[in-house]
Each structure stands twice: as structure tokens, then as C-alpha cells.
Structure 1
Amino acid sequence: MKKAIKSLAIVALVAFTTFSFTKAVEKKDIKTDKSKLVWKGYKVTGSHEGTIAIKSGSLSFDNDKLVGGEFVIDMTTISSTDLEGEYKGKLDKHLKSDDFFGVENHSTSTLVFSKVTASGKNSYSVTGNLTIKGKTNPITFTVSIYGNKATANLKVDRTKYDVRYGSTSFFDGLKDKAIYDEFDLVADLEF
């Protein structure tokens, strides 16, 4: 009996010591007012760019190593920054329409990290599930962390999310009206 109690005490001491030095995963909320999400879309005759607001988001760390993240993007805020006046209004309205992101029925998009692998001192290769217009697809991209800031660059194939307007993958004869299938997202985050 004394041997069993002694063994139990040793196990408890080892467990207590181990848990004392193990940090739990720490979830850090994104400061949405200090973070920025920029988009850039390309067409045969040039490009357009703008911003979209981050509604909420967080990054998860284990011993200061990135291990997860999740974001909600407010699609109703999609806006061009390279145009002014009437042309800006027309493009912004068109981007919110069903031709593009259908924000009336799909007011948010989400990104949930599913796998994070360190690829350098402050760099991570991330695979996540991106949902736009109710369609979810895996996407892989790079995240860099410096102190309480992070940057990420994503290349998104819009046709995977039923955003087909002006796509030569679905429409013939577009010529100089064609819009390329991939667009860029650049996130500058503070947490």
C-alpha cells in the first residue's frame, strides 16, 4: 500500500511540474481598427484595387509559435480605392452584386486555418478553409509574424467560389473585357 501511495505521489508531482511549465494555446484577437485587408483584381486592360473590413479575427499561439487562426470578413464593406466619383460607385455596386460577391445573401466570408507549419524564423506556411459566397475551398499561403503584427498574402481563384463574371474560363469572346480568375488579398494585421 505504501508503495502504491508513493508511486501515486511521484506521478502527481511529475504531472504538476509538467503542467506548470506548459503554456496553453493563447488566442490573440485582431485589432480590426488597426488592421487592413487590401484586394487587387486584374483584367486584360489593367487592374482595380480596394479594401474590405475585417469583422473579427484571431491568431492562436503555442509558446509564441503560430498554430491557428480564424477570420470573418465583412463583404458589405468591399470598396475600390483606385477610382472616384461615379466610376467608383458603379464598381463598388457591381462588386456587391450577384455578378461578383452577392453580399445581400453572403454578407461575410470566413477563413479558418487548418494546418500551420513553420517555414522560417518568423514565417509560416498556412493551409486554411476559405469560404466565399457559401462555397468553401482549401487555400495555402504564407504568414509572417513580427512582434504583435502579421502579414499574409493570398492568391484566390474566384471561380472556385462561383464568381464568374468576365471569366474566360466560362465565357468566350470577352477579348479586352476579360477579368483574370485570380485576385490578390494582402492582410496587414495587428493583435
Structure 2
Amino acid sequence: MRTFILTGIFLLFFLCILFAGCITEAPVKPPVLTVTDVTLSDVSLRTLTINTTINIFNPNPVGADLNRIAFDLYYVTGGSDQYLGHGELAHITVKESGNTSITMPVKIGTVQAAQAIGTLVKDGSLTVKVNGTAAIDLKVMSYELPFAQQRVFYLEEFTNLVPEISVAGLSVNTSEVISQGRAILETFLE
């Protein structure tokens, strides 16, 4: 009987030592994905480019693969969302125990760009929304991470994109032209 007790204690001790390493290992944590910046560039009636910067923080000691990241862009007018465009990337390596930053430019079509710029001039601001998902593979687990962000752009931010025009001694102030254009648009829309 005593042999069985000693064998049982020895077996229990052996199992505790065997599984002790498994218990102390940290579990895999999901990466954290955030939209860090949304900027407008190439603003004109023909084209509009929206640069969306996304940061992926991987807390794990192993790297990951960003299999696919996709998002849609919208602007808000009259309380409803209007589709602007779509951005998508695949096969990006995500660093271990750190941040990976990705900037994705999306060129907006002529009609959508003209409508968005019209809203910017008419309202004096433009709210842009980003909604998407990212599929991240950590080899032992996969995650589908949703993300969303919105940013308000104000008309004053873009007066420097339109150069001041001077023709034979006549100087045109772009800020005045924009404010007069807004006043004209408001009279047509009333």
C-alpha cells in the first residue's frame, strides 16, 4: 500500500513539473487595430485622394500576417452617408511585440469627388467616415478585427491648396473667392 502512495505522489509531482511550463506561458493576445489619421490630398473637382493611416499593435512575441485589410469611405451630407470609395491591401507582415503602420491612399472618382467638394464648400466642413475589417493570422489563431473612424475637415484647411492668382496687377484672394462661392451656392440651394 505504501508503494502505491509513493508512486502516486511521485506521479503527481512529475505531472506538476511537466505541466508547469505550459501554465506560465502567456496566452496569445489579439492585435489592436486603430485608424490613426485620415487626410485629404489632391483636392479638386476632378480628383480627391483620401489617405487612411492604420496602426496595428501586436502584443505577441511572434510576428503575424495581415492577410487582408479592406475599408469603405463615406462622407456625411444631410444626415446620411454617401459612398466615396474603397481601399484594400493584402499580404502585409506585422511586426512582433510592436507597431506596424500602413498608409492607404484611395483615389475618389470624379462624380463622388465633385459632390464631396460641393458639400465642403457649401457647409464649410466635410465629415469623412472609414469603416472596415482586417484579417490577421498569428499562426496559432486568426482574428477578424473591425475598425471605424471619422474626421471632420474644415474648408479653411484647404485654402492653401488653391494658389493666389494674379493677372496683370489684379490679385485674387482665394479665401474671398471661396466665401463668395459659398454664398452663391447657398442662394441657389434655398
Please confirm whether the aligned pair reaches a TM-score higher than 0.5, indicating the same fold.
Answer: no
Q: Which structure carries more helix by proportion? A: 2
TM-score where L is the length of structure 2: 0.30
